[in-house]
A = this chain, B = another copy of it.
Amino acid sequence: MIIVLKRDSTQEVVDHVVEKIKSAGLAVHISKGKERTIIGAIGDETLLGQISLEALPGVENVMPILKPYKLVSREFRKEASVLDINGVQIGDAVIQVIAGPCSVESREQLVDCAKKVKAAGASILRGGAFKPRTSPYDFQGLGVEGLKLLREAKKETGLPIISELMDPRDTEVVCEYVDIVQIGARNMQNFRLLTEVGKAKKPVLLKRGLSATIKEFLMSAEYIAAQGNSQIILCERGIRTFETATRNTLDLSAVPVLKEETHLPVFIDPSHAVGRWNLVLPLARAAVAVGADGLMIEVHPDPENALCDGAQSLKPTKFASLMEEVRRVAASIGRTL
């Protein structure tokens, strides 16, 4: 931690800051320049979490040096983490594709969709049973009934399944049915939920919040890891910016940045980011080219009658074309699909 003091700080101010840092158990290093005195706090920066250094008189600025995340960092684990989800390897050279409808609507819709995305090459089935909706008047999902239909679709196709958990009280039932628990963007900083999925020891796909920095995203993963669960997939799905031509702005730069910072696998969900099905294909290609470990794509057998997110859902035939194109891009960078 670097503490920059205000110009012309007195010795009393310096001594007070130094004393505070030492009382927290860190060593101190003072550097007096012409215009500013700078104090370095050397040691475990988390010990300083209990002191409000910025509230000390004479302090102009406090700059952390070390990363606030540990277990999920590349410094903690140099090699990439590979997750095994019922035999599907996530995080190695093979790019995995999660596909399926935004929400589970019926047995027919789901099983039909599952078979078609499997035929096209998807390796994991998605489907929302509990749906976070902006309006209380919109379809909220089938709940446990939806989870049961997902299990049936899994039986029919062999595809592992992923579905969203919205409420700590549903943790047990969701974990009973699914292979991967999804934490949605709006819950990325629902710390109680993160703690629960950490304790549950199930694989988790954690979506980045709409206005979460990459640092905050990793801190949320750290919440899960801190409970002993390191089976975490990170998923970028668009951030909120001033641009309204797409629903959100897909931050593909986040992929190589995350790859530097963490050992966890990184997925991209272009469907939610752009909100329009015809933009999903080019962004899926770009996601693979930038280095993502997997994709999450919304596919619906009948988008115009979808109960949610029809505008961004691909028909199964379009999805099959997407898989063809994405496969070629993957090959061009030495990966397979």
- Interfacial residues, chain A to chain B (CB-CB below 8 A): 2, 4, 7, 20, 29, 31, 33-36, 38, 40, 42-43, 46, 49-52, 54-56, 61, 63, 65-66, 68, 75, 132-139, 166-169, 186-187, 189-192, 195, 209-211, 213-216, 219, 222-223, 226, 239-246, 249-257, 260, 273-274, 276-279, 282-283, 285-291, 303-311, 313, 325, 328-329, 331-333
Give the interface SS of chain A, mostly helix, strand, loop or mixed: mixed
CB-based contact A252/B254 at 8 Å: no
Name which residue of chain B comes closest to A220, CB basis: B134
A332 CB, nearest partner CB in chain B, Å: 4
- Tell me, in angstroms, the Cα distance from A186 to B35 when the chains sit together: 33
Q: A169-B169, A332-B332, A333-B328 are in contact. Are A68 and B135 (CB under 8 A)?
A: yes
- Tell me, in angstroms, the Cα distance from A75 to B60 when the chains sit together: 13
| Complex partner residue of A283 from B138, B253, B313, CB under 8 angstroms | B253
> Would you list the 8 A-B pairs with minimal beta carbon distance, nearest first?
A52-B310, A211-B211, A54-B311, A289-B289, A55-B310, A332-B332, A286-B290, A286-B286
CB-based contact B245/A213 at 8 Å: yes
Q: Please indicate the chain B residues that have their CB under 8 angstroms from the CB of A135 in the complex.
A: 46, 49, 68, 219, 222
| Complex partner residue of A287 from B169, B242, B286, B309, CB under 8 angstroms | B286
CB-based contact B254/A253 at 8 Å: no
CB-based contact B257/A246 at 8 Å: yes
| Complex partner residue of A253 from B43, B68, B192, B246, CB under 8 angstroms | B246
- Tell me, in angstroms, the Cα distance from A191 to B165 when the chains sit together: 12
Most central of A4, A20, A210, A331 by chain B CB within 10 Å: A210
Q: Please indicate the chain B residues that have their CB under 8 angstroms from the CB of A138 in the complex.
A: 49
Q: List 14 A-B contacts (CB under 8 A).
A: A49-B137, A52-B303, A52-B305, A52-B309, A55-B306, A61-B65, A166-B190, A166-B191, A215-B245, A243-B251, A253-B273, A253-B283, A255-B282, A332-B332
